[in-house]
Amino acid sequence: MLTNILLILITAAAAGYGYYLTFRLDRWVGEEKKLQADEEQNESQESCAVVFGEDEWTEEIGGWLKSRGLRPVFIEEACLKKDWKNVSLVIAISSSDEDNLSVCNLLRKIYHTEQLYGICNDQVNYIVYKRFHIQVLNRDIKITEQLENAMSGNEVVIA
């Protein structure tokens, strides 16, 4: 009889503690969703710059964009997010001209971005970049200097 009472007490305590943990978990999940919604709202209001590809200049470009008041968004694959409302700049630095051209044109059409910059890896494709109004960057010259010159209205020099 005493063992049955002890088992009932232990079971009741375990069930109570389980309910307590469940409610705490639900509260934590609710707080996490609220924080994510607030963060997404803040991110969607500020201008961002999409950098496609990965190169040795990725960190330098990120710092340069932050100093200009833009939030850098680094992507390695062509992707779109609906919270990118203010995409003001696209920089394509991958080693594939086809990928650079595709990403620039895709982001131009979806986000109506006019400032498009891309590294031309093969000089044969230079005409295509110009036809699609993509400013051509040279891999051999410091990219942030080229971006600075292009944004200030100076012509980017392709050596």
Identify the domain containing residue 20 by its residue range: 1-45
Q: Higher model confidence: residue 84 or residue 154? A: 84
Residue 45's pLDDT band, with cuts at 50, 70 and 90, is low
Residue 142 and residue 73: Cα distance in Å, rounded? 20
4 and 81 assigned to the same domain: no
73 and 22 assigned to the same domain: no
In this prediction, residues 106-129 reach a mean pLDDT of 88
Residue 62 forms part of a structural domain: yes
30 and 95 assigned to the same domain: no
Residue 131's pLDDT band, with cuts at 50, 70 and 90, is very high
CATH number of the domain within which 104 lies: 3.40.50.720
User: How many structural domains is the chain composed of?
Assistant: 2
Residue 93 forms part of a structural domain: yes
Predicted pLDDT of residue 60: 86
75 and 113 assigned to the same domain: yes
90 and 33 assigned to the same domain: no
50 and 40 assigned to the same domain: no
3 and 77 assigned to the same domain: no
Residue 58's pLDDT band, with cuts at 50, 70 and 90, is confident
Q: What is the average pLDDT score of the chain?
A: 82
**% residues pLDDT > 90 (the chain):** 13
Q: Higher model confidence: residue 148 or residue 40? A: 148
Predicted pLDDT of residue 159: 41
| Three-state secondary structure readout of the chain | CHHHHHHHHHHHHHHHHHHHHHHHHHHHHHHHHHHHHHHHHHHHHCCEEEEECCCCCHHHHHHHHHHCCCEEEEECCCCCCCCCCCEEEEEECCCCHHHHHHHHHHHHHHHCCCCEEEECCCHHHHHHHHHCCCEEECCCCCHHHHHHHHHCCCCCCCC
Q: Higher model confidence: residue 17 or residue 44? A: 17
Predicted pLDDT of residue 153: 66
| For residue 137, pLDDT beyond 60 | yes
Predicted pLDDT of residue 129: 92
Residue 56 CB partners (closer than 8 Å, separation 6+): none
Residue 118 forms part of a structural domain: yes
130 and 98 assigned to the same domain: yes
Residue 24 forms part of a structural domain: yes
Could you tell me the pTM of the whole model?
Answer: 0.65
